[in-house]
Amino acid sequence: MTTATQFERQETEVTQGREPKSGAQLLLESIAAQGVDTIFGYPGGAIMPVYDVLPKLPQLRHILCRHEQGCGMAAIGYARATGKVGTAFATSGPGATNLVTAIADAYLDSVPTVFVTGQVTSDLMGTDAFQEVDIFGITLPIVKHSYIARDPADIPGMVAEAYFIAAEGRPGPVLIDLPKDVANAMTTDRHKWRPYPKQKPEMGQSDWITKAEEMIRAAKKPLFYIGGGIAQGDGVVELRDLVERTNIPVVSTLKGLGALPSDHPNFLGMLGMHGLKAANYAVQECDLLIVAGARFDDRATGKLDTFAPHAKVIHMDIDVAEINKLRGADVYLDGSLKKNLMALKPGKSECDDWRELCYARREEHEWDYKSPITSMKSGGVYAPKLLHDLSRRAPDSAIFTCDVGQHQMWVAQHCYFDDPKDHITSGGLGTMGFGLPAGLGAKLGAPERTVITVSGDGSIMMNIQELATLNRYDIPVKIVLLDNSALGMVRQWQEVFFEKNYSEVNLDDNPDFAKVAEAFNIEAFTVTRGDEVDAAIDRLLAATGPILMHVKIDTYENVWPLVPPGRSNADMMER
């Protein structure tokens, strides 16, 4: 983590004799120079000089979301769908603090983003002025780098460095705090940023590569454990090639879904608290865990000292801080995941009996969408089957953005993904209200692709105002709203672990969500019966504009399997 003053220690060149430009104009021109074409923002007093200049730069498309948190989440969705750096603007004070959740989300999920906040004038900073907060200090633990602009001449270099840092290595959010007087100040100077030198070649990696290959060849029960770092490290092709060459089974974290296609013959599914049984059993019995771009998150590991208890570990991650943080590695490969995956050439793994066991378990525990359960017996909608059918009928390039709760786990368990960019959800922070703004950001970043947002009745209310953004810009996001009239995941935990003491989870006074969407001029309809689902999916996928499918589901339908907190992943509770 670095401070604003570190930028000042970089070498600079001063170019004089140019036309005077304001800090606000230099900011926007510098952002455009980074290849940015879309900004999500909400204006206010302190950042007004920037918005005054904005119409003069038509190459920058500004999307006015209806809440700063929506701006931030949309920037994250844009970044994750495109692989580019997302950008969001907000004013000082409450505008800046409303961005904090999005900044934290980007930090925990390693999403390249630049957040620009307006600030009170420099002479008022520290005086508790109107709409002043120390956003620099507030966000220090949740950014990769921060700046406070003190001189408009610094801004071009500052912006160039911010976008470089956001995307380089392990991606993450960068904050630029811009005082109003600096935005207004005119200058002819330009302090140029000196790019960082290229990294030196990794030393000693060849020995570790050789050792890793030896361990893979010697293993009788090897297993790949893959995470979100595969996509962020541009290692999808290399991972798939390595899996094909070794023929080793694979499990994935929530953010790793799609790195290997969901229907790939080697893929066992997601592991962890709501992971599939075949995946969790494989982890518990493997003798070698090849970890690529994953960080042993608690939702994946369960009780850590029981996780893969018989396994040696090869850990690959671009962030050396993740190595040995939670689980010791017998061999570690830091640096470029893409290069390390490409360098590994152990040959085909001789583990036929292990493969057959893993794949037999996958078949044994395959989800049965035909056996009647409570909701189906009563003619109701079974959400896992709906999501399974929807993902199979949606275009191959469809993107699913998701909120947080039971529906998030059902999407992870029952939808099919061919690429990591097909699945955009809030992993590390678990942010309710993420799905809708992330969906509109993803659609603006990838307009040629179908974008489906899956939300719950609790989550949709967190950022429901972004329906207005869909309507204003006619963004054709398809929303599937699963409504169980409850905070479903909390209710499930209260049922299972708190003796059915249902405290503050009842949402049976929800509005008619279809009518709410229609009030925003968005097409909407409601589904209450299982025999309506096929036609509803057809209508959803055929819509050319934004549409909301409101689906009523059983309040007491739970997500299974479930690993209780503090227990081994082998201790899975079932229906």
Is-catalytic flag, 68?
yes
Say whether pLDDT at 100 is over 90: yes
Q: Which of 125, 270, 489, 572 is catalytic?
A: 489
Instruction: Give the whole-angstrom CA distance, residue 430 versus residue 441.
Output: 18
Task: Please give the pLDDT value at position 370.
Answer: 78
Q: Write the CB contacts of 13 (distance below 8 Å, at least 6 apart in sequence).
A: 190, 191, 192
Is-catalytic flag, 180?
yes
**Residue 368's pLDDT band (cuts 50, 70, 90):** confident
The mean-pLDDT minimum among 177-186, 374-383, 510-519 falls in 374-383
Task: Please give the pLDDT value at position 261.
Answer: 96
Return the domain boundaries, the chain.
Answer: 4-187, 205-364, 374-552
For domain 205-364, give the fold.
Rossmann fold (3.40.50)
Q: Which of 84, 180, 385, 552 is catalytic?
A: 180
Task: Please give the pLDDT value at position 4.
Answer: 38
Q: Which of 130, 244, 348, 377 is catalytic?
A: 130
Say whether pLDDT at 342 is over 60: yes
Query: Closest Cα to residue 377, out of 552, 554, 549, 535?
Result: 554
Residue 521: is it exposed, middle or buried by C-beta count within 10 angstroms (0-12/13-18/19+)?
middle
pLDDT digits (tens, 9 = 90+) for 70-92: 999 999 999 999 999 999 999 99
Stretch (H or E) spanning 459: helix 457-460
The mean-pLDDT minimum among 82-91, 361-370, 518-527 falls in 361-370
Is-catalytic flag, 296?
no
CATH superfamily of 374-552: Thiamin diphosphate (ThDP)-binding fold, Pyr/PP domains (3.40.50.970)
Neighbour tally for 452: CB within 10 Å: 27
Query: Closest Cα to residue 23, out of 191, 164, 161?
Result: 191
Q: What is the mean pLDDT of the chain?
A: 93
Task: Please give the pLDDT value at position 7.
Answer: 40
Task: Please give the pLDDT value at position 334.
Answer: 85
Length of the chain: 575
Question: Percentage of residues in the chain with pLDDT exceeding 90?
Answer: 87
Q: What is the CATH number of domain 4-187?
A: 3.40.50.970
Dihedrals phi, psi of 136, to nearest 5 degrees: -60, -50
User: What pTM, to 2 d.p., does this model score?
Assistant: 0.94
DSSP state of 466: G
Q: Do domains 4-187 and 374-552 have the same CATH topology?
A: yes
Strand, coil or helix: 493:
helix
Instruction: Give the whole-angstrom CA distance, residue 221 versus residue 216.
Output: 9
- Give me 554's structure tokens: 């059983």
Q: Which of 21, 25, 29, 68 is catalytic?
A: 68
Stretch (H or E) spanning 114: strand 113-119
Say whether pLDDT at 377 is over 80: no
Is-catalytic flag, 131?
yes
Task: Please give the pLDDT value at position 12.
Answer: 47
